[in-house]
Structure 1
């Protein structure tokens, strides 16, 4: 509520921010750059396996649509 208190609070936040920036782990440490390092039951791995199975000759970046059912299985009409 005083000017002195305002400057103390601002200085504390600046010190905390600088300390965290210096000592905190970088997000790069947790980056997954290869799908091989993910567990087999990861949704992105399962999606990639299905893409490889259904579109083996497809090159480039496909459009991917994801459907989810409350029952767990999505019924496809032919």
Structure 2
């Protein structure tokens, strides 16, 4: 199984959790590709989702809201 993870982490805390998730997903044999979308340039890059069976999107939240940058 191929899994793509997207991670928006302005302070680094969400990136740490994404690393843990990546390690846990690779234990049963999944192939995981991590993409850091914290920078504006990274968020504007197109990603082909066709080769992947699943994807995970991680971002922080504050007052039940995601940062506006995570929605770009």
Pairwise TM-score range, normalised by the shorter structure: under 0.3
Q: Which has the higher helix share?
A: 1
Q: Which has the higher contact order (CA 8 A, sep 6+)?
A: 2
TM-score, normalised on structure 1?
Answer: 0.23
